[in-house]
Amino acid sequence: MSVEFLHCDIRTVNLLLLPSLVSTFKPEESIGAVVLSRSRSVPFIIPPTLRGRDWIHLTNEEQVQEDRDPYMTPQSGPRSSFHSLAGAYVVGTINPDLYKFPEDKSETDFPDGNIGRLWFSIEYEQESERLLVSLIKVRKLQPPADSCSPFVKIYLLPDERSYLQSKTKRKTLNPQFDENFVFQVSSKMLLQRTLKFLVYHVDKQKKHHLLGQVIFPLKNEALTEDNKLVIWRDLEKENLEPPSEHGDIQFSLSYNDYLGRLTVVVLRARGLKLQEESPAVGVYVKVSLMNHNKFIKSKKTAALLGTPNPVYNETFSFKADQTEMDTASLSLSVLQSNKGEKTLLLGRVVVGPFMYTRGKELEHWNEMISKPKELVKRWHALCHSTD
Q: Is 261 found in the same domain as 165?
A: no
Domain-terminating residue out of 194, 211, 235: 235
Residue 61 has pLDDT above 60, yes or no: no
Domain-terminating residue out of 214, 235, 256: 235
Region at 354 (left for phi over 0; alpha for psi -120 to 50; beta for the rest): alpha
Partners of 175 in the β-ladder: none
Q: Is 299 found in the same domain as 213?
A: no
- In CATH, what number is assigned to the domain containing residue 133? 2.60.40.150
Q: For position 167, what pLDDT does the model report?
A: 95
* Better-predicted residue by pLDDT, 115 or 316: 316
Q: For position 44, what pLDDT does the model report?
A: 66
Q: For position 60, what pLDDT does the model report?
A: 46
Between CA 331 and CA 365 the distance in angstroms is 12
* Better-predicted residue by pLDDT, 88 or 346: 346
Residue 367: CB atoms within 10 A of its CB come to 13
In a domain, 41, yes or no: no
pLDDT tens figures, 128-181: 999 999 999 999 898 877 778 999 999 998 888 889 999 999 989 999 999 999
In a domain, 153, yes or no: yes
Reduced to 3 states (helix: H, G, I; strand: E, B; else coil), residue 101 is coil
In a domain, 69, yes or no: no
Farthest CA pair distance, the chain = 94
Q: How high does pLDDT run on average in the chain?
A: 78
Weakest-pLDDT range from 29-38, 222-231, 246-255, 298-307? 29-38
In a domain, 20, yes or no: no
Q: Which domain holds residue 120?
A: 107-235
Residue 329 has pLDDT above 90, yes or no: yes
For the residues 16-37, what does the mean pLDDT come to? Answer: 42
* Better-predicted residue by pLDDT, 38 or 194: 194
Weakest-pLDDT range from 99-103, 167-171, 189-193? 99-103
